[in-house]
Amino acid sequence: MDAMFVIPRRESLFRMGTSLGGIALASMLADEASAEDSRAENSEAAPMQPKSGHVPAKAKNCIFLMMEGGPSHIDTFDPKPKLNQLHLQEFVRQGQQKSAMESGKRYFVRSPFSFSRHGESGAPMADNWTHLPKVADELCFYRGCQVDSVNHPTAMYQMNCGNRFGGDPGIGAWVTYGLGSENQSLPGFIVLPEVSYPQGGAANWSNGYLPAFYQGTPLRAKGSPILDLQPPAGISRARQRLNLDLLSRMNQRHAAKHPGHDELSARLVSYELAFRMQTEVPEAMDLSGETKETFALYGIGNDATDAFGRKCLLARKMVEKGVRFVQLYNGTWDSHDYIERAHGNLVRGVDQPIAALIQDLKQRGLLESTLVVWCGEFGRSPDNGVRGGTAYGRDHNANAMTIWMAGGGVNAGHTIGATDETGMTAVEEVRPVRDFHVTLLRLLGLDDNKLTYYHAGRFKQLSQFGGKVIEPLIKAS
């Protein structure tokens, strides 16, 4: 009788587990890929149609106020009385020896602004904010966020796209990919930049590896909001419609021979959107129907507030018309010297318009469903002063900053997190920026772990590799 071949028990269990596990894993991945393919097909067929979120949403739209350049938390919303005692004393970063090659000395610098508390929440604000205190109890301040770079372009990319190195989708692109838009005649993701684009350029609102439908559409700060918005003279809408129909048939035949070309599909959709925008955009951008009282509320007509006031009013109109994500840029807040003058002018330009935006949204019943976010790409340091004179400024600081939010289910009337006594680093509720992104998505009804896109051999997401919701920022149900 031949000797019986016996497989050891441990090896037997291992083989069974790996074989069954392999089948199960392959099945799960196939199901997930199939679901992703289905979502992609639906996206190509009607990419901007409204979609259901993954979890109950607190907000359905977002207005993102990006203060490019790094506003100083120490001189806006996070007072540091300790700096009054340390003013112009020599500064050495904790745990760091000064380099023998370092030229000159660095000094602690107190804030040139005094602070007061406002509202029932007692929110501290520098006294040059004269309008925002009126809505203090609508705001939720967050002082625990940290980023990974003190370089403007890379920090901008991380705050906007989750990745310091560019090439990834902007947060507005992710939101419109996940939720679509309520208005099919306007882009779902609209950007209102400065005349000069922010550091990092248009990549801050790119679609990245998502289909091209989801990229942000910048509207020009001066002149026609979009070039060639109107058809050439002598071309009627009826003639234009016939031309588009012919072009569509030709492109569809070409697309049938070249399946899987996102750019071609996006081009077909963009032509139709552009045709609809010729009617919708001029009306959406037209402020002539607004009252004198509304203009006065936003500071439109005043030299200091006119430009940003118009952006904030346009953002309100866009949200009213169902645009999903609107991002406004203001800058630059990169005040390495003369911070009293620089930040003073910048605050003067945005204070009234931002307060008006929140008041206007609330009066129209839109604040509850609109998430408003104010932030920069990082904060600023408690040092970098020049001994003597008035040219005091601050350096970049990735370890401490202030972000605030309003509306859309946030924990209004509260300050979450804290920085140390000089404002150098966050010390309470300290979280990376990916957790902040995950929280924004959750407020809009999206789960970062489910909002994925298959690219370059793996499923990618805004947080890069996952994050945790910052629960204290969300109002308890």
Q: Summarize pLDDT for 96-149 with one digit per residue, the tens.
A: 544 433 456 789 999 999 999 999 999 999 999 999 999 999 999 999 999 999
57-225+289-473 carries CATH number 3.40.50.10740: no
Query: CB neighbours of 200 closer than 8 A, spacing ≥ 6?
Result: 152, 153, 154, 156, 157, 160, 166
Taking the C-alpha atoms of residue 196 and residue 198, their distance in angstroms, rounded to an integer, is 7
Q: Is 68 helix (H, G, I), strand (E, B) or coil?
A: strand
- The Cα–Cα gap between 389 and 73 comes to 23
CA-CA-CA-CA dihedral for 32, 435, 191, 135, to nearest 10: 130
Question: What pLDDT is stored for residue 461 in this prediction?
Answer: 98
Domain boundaries in the chain?
57-225+289-473
Rounded distance, CA 450 to CA 464, Å? Answer: 12
Of 140, 9, 28, which Cα lies nearest the Cα of 473? 140
Q: Name every residue whose Cβ is closer than 8 Å to that of residue 370 and which is 6 or more positions away in sequence.
A: 59, 60, 61, 62, 63, 319, 361, 407, 408
Per-residue pLDDT at 402: 98
Residue with tokens 């037997």: 12
Of 348, 274, 358, nearest to 316 (Cα)? 358
Position 257 scores a pLDDT of 76
pLDDT on residue 48: 86
| Distances, alpha carbon 309 to alpha carbons 137, 211, 305, 332, 408, in Å | 22, 33, 6, 17, 22
pTM, to two decimals: 0.84
**Residue 375 confidence (pLDDT):** 98
- Cβ count near 377 (within 10 Å): 34
Instruction: Say if CB 424 and CB 96 are below 8 A apart.
Output: no
Task: Find out whether 212 and 268 touch, Cβ atoms under 8 Å.
Answer: no
Token pair, residue 115, equals 């602070």
For 453, phi then psi, to 5°, come to -145, 130
Q: Which residues of the chain have pLDDT under 70?
A: 1-45, 93-104, 221-237, 239-244, 248, 260-282, 386-390
In this predicted structure, what is the pLDDT of residue 105? 78
Task: Write down the residue that tokens 């929280």 correspond to.
Answer: 439
pLDDT reported for residue 262: 63
**Dist. CA 260–CA 255, nearest whole Å:** 8
Beta-bridge partner residues of 372: 63, 406
Q: Which class for 241: exposed (0-12), middle (13-18), buried (19 or more C-beta within 10 A)? A: exposed
Query: Which among 158, 121, 157 has a CA at the least distance from the CA of 136?
Result: 121
Provide the b/e sequence for 397-423 (b: ≥16 CB within 10 Å): bbbbbbbbbbbbbbbbbbbbbebbebb
What's residue 220's pLDDT? 77
pLDDT of residue 311: 96
Pair 278, 231: CB distance under 8 Å: yes
Token pair of 270 as six digits:
């963009």
